Structure 1
């Protein structure tokens, strides 16, 4: 074997098992994170495929451990696809320490993943989808609409700009997550990992609560009372008006708790989604649900 190939296969830092080749393989695999997106486990298949080079490195001859690790990472996962590289790195670091004998259970790895999903989605969506993409799109469109000889720069600026940012965020997010994750899980004995897990979980709950209140709308248009004024004006009070006065968003909160309860009862997520479709259609048709 040549000296150059030996350097490539060597671990990037003392005590770390993943090589630069492993990280590059994980990076390229992560670009297909949404390739098998589904409504039951969202990005779980893409997450599992991305972690496969690390799993093979950590458990090279133990097929049982490889299968158990793959099964761990087939659980529900969904966050912003670019910034998700940070989660890949942190998870790889936790799997590495587990392979070295650290007492890191399946629940701990899953809890860290779930705890990071919400906050990272809350950061990635507004920054990349809500800010960078519209800004680059507006800049590119303004150049394209000039009609001058430089109009071709508009789509080029958008295409190159968005992809350069995507590549940098994915690559350095993966490396940073792996490096910081290794330091984080090495302090598991001092309770650092437990505190970070709790902080991530609490932050994720706050983000998910805000998303439920912002994006979930349930309207009950049923009229409870109708009052006609002397001038002939009719004022109607609907069930939704009463609910909004008592506790805005209570219907969305109730639906969230109902879905959580059904999931805890091992009801398939696809059946829950289908049930909400049916209830929504029947509710709109009968008039007890409105837009």
Structure 2
């Protein structure tokens, strides 16, 4: 009995000793873990202290400056001066040495043009990307400019119908109706509400773009920024291609053939009935036979033949030619003056 009791006492003693040892090791591990957590939190604090951030006051200043986006509009690079003016507070905050500031300012003096109000989200994304770049993220000039160019085209198509064709006419009609009734509130309501909506939209969308831009810049390793840049660039190229067809207008008026039409293929202005009946017959003939029905002689011009071959070929070739000249560092002002001269000479000699 005594031997069994002694064995039990020894086992209890060893068990208690093991528990104490385990408790001590647990305490040691906890202290090490606490020390590691404390060191990592200190490192994070140090990293946050070293990180350059655009605070809300600076972003407000940028938003206020951005209202003058079109203050230095020019035919060479359009809104680039107003854009660079908006970016100055961010550049001064993010880059402390003069060389970096100069490079950043030159980076934002490239061509830029979009609706002045929907430019705010583009500005927000650009601010976030510049902030990440200043903090060491490998974002190059091409990525920043690619996102700008890719966003400005599609957003320009949103701004015109929303602001110029919806909000402004509604507020104008409201203000005009009050003004016609003799109320001084008419112009006041228009100017106050228009500028209030405009400024709130500028600030909110700039902040939205700023937050979205920070998310884009976080996932550089996953290629998110590269994919966004690629998609934005593709969209930008589509928009530019559509604008070439819409805005570039070249018409070679050199006559190639002259054909006298049959009497039933053109409008006989001298024998049209008087009044509404004559107008109806003229409109019917024009609808049926098109512009050629206005004259008894059908003239086929050089432009007609080119359009039969490939519509829009000449504007496309002109755009590609100018792009090549720009790549060879030919001054845009020189190109503009040359286009004016060619257009005037071609008009004088009835070529265009």
Map Cα deviations across residues 98-153 of structure 1 (whole Å, 9 max, x no partner): 11111111111121112122112122223222333233334433444xx4234x44
SS at match of 2:162: helix
- Paired residue for 2:142, among 107, 125, 131? 107
Gaps of 5+ in 2: 1-50, 267-295
- 2:121 aligned with 1:86: yes
8 Å contact 2:94–2:131 — kept in the other structure? Answer: yes
Larger radius of gyration: 2
Deviation at 1:94? 0.8
TM-score, normalised to structure 1, is: 0.86
SS at match of 1:227: strand
Rounded to whole Å, the distance in 1 between the matches of 2:199 and 2:326 is 36
Deviation at 1:208? 1.8
Deviation at 1:157? 3.3
Aligned CA-pair RMSD: 2.0
Rounded to whole Å, the distance in 1 between the matches of 2:237 and 2:151 is 10
- 2:289 aligned with 1:256: no
> How many residue pairs were aligned?
271
CA separation of 1:142/1:221 partners in 2, compared to 1, >3 Å: closer, same or farther?
farther
Greater RCO (CA < 8 Å, at least 6 residues apart) = 1
TM-score, normalised to structure 2, is: 0.72
8 Å contact 1:122–1:207 — kept in the other structure? Answer: no
Gaps of 5+ in 1: 1-14
CA separation of 1:247/1:140 partners in 2, compared to 1, >3 Å: closer, same or farther?
farther
8 Å contact 1:119–1:200 — kept in the other structure? Answer: no
Question: 1:8 — aligned with what?
Answer: none
Matches within 5 A, 1:140-289: 140-144=175-179, 147-150=180-183, 152-229=184-261, 231=263, 233-289=296-352
Worse-matched range after superposition: 231-240 or 34-43: 231-240
Rounded to whole Å, the distance in 2 between the matches of 1:121 and 1:181 is 19
Question: 2:104 — aligned with what?
Answer: 69
Q: Which has the higher helix share?
A: 2
